[in-house]
Structure 1
Amino acid sequence: MTTIIKNNKGWIAGILTAFATSLCCITPVLALLGGASGLASSFSWIEPFRPYLIGLTILVFTAVWYQKLKPQKQMNCDCETDNKKSFWQSKPFLGIVTIVAAVLISFPYYAKAFYPKQQEPKVASADKANVKQVVFKIKGMSCESCTHHVNSEISKVKGIIAFQTSYKNANSTIKFDNSKTSVDSLAAAINRTGYKVVSKTVSNN
């Protein structure tokens, strides 16, 4: 690592760690845009390591900037040397890469902008006897991006009256018309995202 940083290649390691910090939230967006929703939870296991990866990214870029800004030793030589460096070794380029890394690290905070705006469920007046509520406990959600991905799949199911998903609480509460859909259909919609329903509690609303 030290050798790489001294050779002005440390930014590569910094970008890789920055990308890894948000991979668990980038994947659901890519899965939704690519129509492969089942891949959404592929990197959810990275979430517990985010603080460490963020710290490593900051450490790498601090070392790279230190190497870039520290005074260079003057060579006692009368010969002409070409001190011109390429753009890839310049401070402006390193500045751009640092900004890119910051954007990658903060991805979970603006990931929802990549999801289509979810429409409120439109259900004709349902018979109260058919209105049910189910709370699903879901495994694998790690950020707001996961929440939007689950909601996106739920909203496609007919008979939904209202729903609320929380990655922090690892659950989704859904009110639905039991004559138009079922608990199993709702669970299947959630499971299609790659996150897994681990338990459910059904009640009459």
Structure 2
Amino acid sequence: MTTDTTAKKRLTCPSCEQKAKRVSTITLGALLVEECASQFVKDGNDRCDIDGCNPLAGDTGWRFCESKACDVVYFSEEGNTMFTGSQLKVLVGIKETEGERPLCYCFGHSVDSIKGELRSKGQSSALEDIRAKMKDPGCRCENENPSGSCCLGNVKKGIKVAQEELRLADSDIQMSTPAKSSTGKGEKIAKIGTIVSAIMASSCCWLPLVLLTVGVSGAGIASTMEAYRPTFMVVTFGFLGAAFYFTYRPKNAVVAGRHDCCSTEAAVENDCCVSASKSRFSMMTLNKAMLWLVTIMAVAFLFFPSYVGAIIGGSDGKAVTENMNRAVIKVEGMACEGCSALVAEAIHTVPGVLAVKVDYEKGETVVGTKLDQPVPIKEIRAALEKAGFSGAFVRGQTEH
């Protein structure tokens, strides 16, 4: 250890020039060997206590250097006091390139122990184990870890190092991740269920139209699916309600004081808990955006039968005029506006029909032919029955 006083606060290691993280004197007092720790004197005692340590003369703060190529572990921000790895009670695992290389000093995880897990199980549960124990019994990173802060970031890196050393591809070893919560799974199921049930609720309308585009009559399917529409609508709103519940219900907060890795000075400056909070916030924002997108899609599908008529209309494109022989036919079996297109298509297949106008609200269809040609009512009724509807003459020319 050497001591020299300078006026400028040092943020980079004087040995390797790498930027270093700030560390509490509590960490130095806990991990330096006796002869070094005794220099931190408080109230006449030659040891640091739980409340901290007095700085050496001229030193106002300390930094931790994690560079593997550097022997320095701690150095003062003011002055030129440095402590090397040989002056610590524990091995600084993240500065080592071989051997055991401890990573989590509170719960005993190292590169070697992770390699053992990878060999025996194909994956490491180190992260899960640490996160569980951070809540109970709690960690003491400031007193146990040479960096003075949470070890999760170093453990993640350590898993990758262990994988590389075992010469196993990332695809062969699944990094341990926290078990997926039932909340996240339930939220996904609810969103998917909302979309699927909404699509099925409107299938009585869109499915026949799709079949019509490929030359297949879907009127029978329309009437069948219409019977199940109320059920699918109830299921849709049930799934949607569940999705809103899972997305917006209050999340369990971390109990204050259960672990101290989020309360250290180093953690405040570059903290794993802060990063986790930002990550959770981003994911929650994305989940909410996805939920509202699902809601819009569900509403669009649910009410598709209500506005499809405005899109496709109820005629074959040619208006029924006074210069035509006209007849009004009552059509039964139309489930929604989409059926208007099916009715118009079915009637238009009858020879001699020039124009068709379907009124879904009234359940009537106006058919036009040439003035000198009668409207083929019987043929039209047969065409409607073939398409899954029934027709009855209402008014106009005499039925033929």
TM-score over 0.5 for the pair: yes
Superposition map of 1:1-205 within 5 A? 7-8=186-187, 9-36=189-216, 38-76=217-255, 78=259, 84=279, 90-112=287-309, 113-114=311-312, 118-121=317-320, 131=325, 133=327, 135-138=329-332, 140-160=333-353, 163-176=356-369, 179=373, 182-192=376-386, 194-197=387-390, 199-200=392-393, 204=397
For 2:183 and 2:210, locate their aligned partners in 1 and report how far apart those are by CA, in whole Å: 31
Secondary structure of the corresponding residue to residue 72 of structure 1: coil
Structure 2 counterpart SS, 1:7: helix
Q: Going by fraction, where is helix more abundant, 1 or 2?
A: 1
| 1:107 CA displacement | 0.6
Compared with structure 1, are the counterparts of its residues 133 and 7 closer, same or farther at alpha carbon in structure 2 (3 Å cutoff)? closer
Distance 2:214 2:355 in 1: 27
Q: In the alignment, residue 152 of structure 1 is paired with which amino acid? A: E
Report SS of the residue matched to 1:160. coil
The answer to whether the 8 A contact 1:134-1:175 is kept is no
Q: Secondary structure at the match of 2:193?
A: helix
Distance 2:242 2:330 in 1: 46
Amino acid at match of 1:204: Q
User: Residues 108 and 144 of structure 1 are in contact (CA less than 8 Å); yes or no, is this contact kept in structure 2?
Assistant: yes
Q: Per-residue CA shift, 1:48-99, capped at 9, x if unaligned?
A: 4434432332232122112211111124564868674769x72211221111
Gaps of 5+ in 2: 1-181, 262-271
Structure 1 residues 42 and 58, CA gap change in structure 2 (3 angstroms)? same
| Cα separation, 1, equivalents of 2:329 and 2:206 | 26
Q: Deviation per CA, 1:167-201, whole angstroms, max 9, x where unpaired?
A: 45544343545746622332243244x22326556
**Which letter does structure 2 place at the counterpart of 1:50?**
R
Pick closer, same or farther for the CA change 1:132–1:100 going to 2, 3 Å: closer
Query: How far, CA to CA, are the matches of 2:327 and 2:365 in structure 1?
Result: 10
Please tell me whether Structure 1 or Structure 2 has the larger radius of gyration of its CA atoms: 2
**Cα deviation digits, residues 97-132 of structure 1 (max 9, x gap):** 111111101111222314686212579x67xxxx57
CA distance in 2, matches of 1:119, 1:100: 33
- Partner of 1:18: helix, strand, or coil? helix
Displacement of 1:4 in angstroms is 8.2
Q: Do 1:24 and 1:41's aligned partners in 2 also have CA atoms closer than 8 Å?
A: no
Paired amino acid for 2:208 = P
Secondary structure in 1 matching 2:220? coil
Which residue identity lines up with residue 377 of structure 2 in the other structure?
A: V
Are the counterparts in 1 of residues 305 and 338 from structure 2 also a CA contact under 8 Å?
A: yes
Gaps of 5+ in 1: none
1:125-181 Cα distance to aligned partner (Å, 9 max, x none): 67xxxx57363443x311111123212332454533665434455443435457466
Q: Please give the secondary structure, in 2, of the residue aligned with 1:174.
A: strand
Number of residue equivalences? 195
Q: Which is further off, 92-101 or 151-160?
A: 151-160
Partner Cα separation in structure 1 for residue 249 and residue 240 of structure 2: 14
